[in-house]
Amino acid sequence: MKALLAAAAALGVALSVGATQSKAAGDPLSTRPGLELGVQASYYRYEEPDVLKLSGARGGIVGAYTFTNARHLFSRIEVRDSYGRLKYESGSAGSQSKVPDNILEGRILAGADFFPGRSFSLSPYAGLGYRYLYSDLREPVGYRYESNYVYAPIGLAARMHLGGGLALVPAVEADIFLGGRQKTQYSDTGLPGVHDVINSQDGGRGYRGALMLENDRWAFGGWMSYWRIEDSDVQATGGTSPTAGFVPKNWTREGGLEIRYRF
């Protein structure tokens, strides 16, 4: 995983150094260059079937910087920080409100703009992404956990010129799951001999979709994301009565609204 993150950092440097800003920043059919900052609100639901659920509203901030050149190539660096106080539900541990949950995400993308029509363009892209999640479950179940995903996004955005510099931008994306790691801090429970467990996750997939309305400065719209991750490997938790510690198959759904300003 460290090697993948190092490769992502190197790719980002190479893309940023190699790209030159296009003078056609106001073209509504081209990927727009520059710095973007924004906020988002969403509803989030994580479920391990027949085990537990975490759900609730989230709020976050987003940032991106896009490089373009005269050949209609682009590269983009994206970051996201999202926080929620979620509701925990489990048949064995009952329920608990206001569970702290935080997501940090970074992505590096590269692609190109194509113009099949006078008022329509297509922008395929690919890249590398990293997603980190921290959830504090000490109140309902006695421990914290950290989740790490590395994935390869492959997507397609379209731009439809609506006139007056305004464009409608739908986008779809498949996220190829490259690997995951989850650390469960069982030592938080205070049970004798119990230690933290790190599980590896090898199977999964993700999808994203968005529909944005944008002009040269503002972008606003809705988005959704989905993850389905398979069972992890199994590790012993230790203690006087050792048990098998693993992360069962799970899915995550999130959708919301976002507004961004381009400087």
The answer to whether the CB of 61 falls within 8 A of the CB of 258 is: no
Give the model confidence (pLDDT) of 37-49 as tens digits.
Answer: 999 999 999 999 9
Amino acid 93: pLDDT: 78
The answer to whether the CB of 143 falls within 8 A of the CB of 197 is: no
Model confidence, pTM: 0.87
Residues of the chain with pLDDT under 70: 1-25, 241-242
Tokens read off for 215: 């002009």
Amino acid 16: pLDDT: 45
Amino acid 25: pLDDT: 55
Cα of first residue to Cα of last residue in the chain, in angstroms, is 34
Domains observed in the chain: 2-15+35-262 (2.40.128.100)
